[in-house]
Amino acid sequence: MATIIFSWIMFSILVMVVAHRYNRSSIGWFLLSLIISPLFSIIFILVLGKATSTQEIIAAKQHAKQHRDCPECGEEVKAVAKICKHCRAELQPITHQKQESPKITKAAKSTTCIKCGIRETPRLENGEAICSKCTV
């Protein structure tokens, strides 16, 4: 009986080491393998595969900011490049357009047209209500 418990704990430690190498929670997988089974736990870790670490994600985002694909040949070039080093095509500069926030117009002061005085659902023009007859 002691041999089975010792083997169970040793295989759980092995699961912990494998989980650490696959960027998974080593203590969590160790406890899970103690409760369920080291065999099922290690199979599950291998099926899940390697988790991406935070540093790898940050590095990939930085790389994406610093590089772009050439529209002619599709090869990767630096974002600031003016000529592709692979096909010598001229590259357009990257323009970072700021997204404009939607313009909010003032609400109409009243529901009557400021030109003819008819009460109808108004259209706003510079914050004032104008009916459909007066806009034509």
85 and 61 in one domain? Answer: yes
41 and 23 in one domain? Answer: yes
pLDDT tens by residue, 75-89: 888 888 888 988 988
Does residue 57 fall inside a structural domain?
Answer: yes
Q: Is 112 exposed, middle or buried (0-12, 13-18, 19+ CB in 10 A)?
A: middle
pLDDT value at residue 50: 84
What are the φ/ψ torsions at residue 52 (nearest 5 degrees)?
Answer: -80, 135
The CB-side HSE value for 17 (13 A sphere, CA atoms) comes to 6
What are the φ/ψ torsions at residue 15 (nearest 5 degrees)?
Answer: -60, -40
Reading the block at residue 62, the tokens are 């930085």
Residue-wise DSSP of 7-37:
HHHHHHHHHHHHHHHTTS-HHHHHHHHHHS-
* Residue 29 clears pLDDT 70, i.e. is over it: yes
Domains of the chain: total: 3
The mean pLDDT value for 19-27 works out to 91
The mean pLDDT value for 49-62 works out to 78
Q: Supply the range of the domain harboring residue 79.
A: 52-91
The amino acid at 120: E
For the ranges 45-49, 70-74, 91-95, 125-129, the lowest mean pLDDT is seen at 125-129
58 and 36 in one domain? Answer: no
pLDDT value at residue 96: 58
pLDDT tens by residue, 62-119: 777 788 888 888 888 888 888 898 898 888 877 655 555 544 444 445 566 666 666 6
Between residues 63 and 41, the one the model is more confident about: 41
33 and 68 in one domain? Answer: no
Whether the full predicted model's pTM is greater than 0.85, yes or no, is no
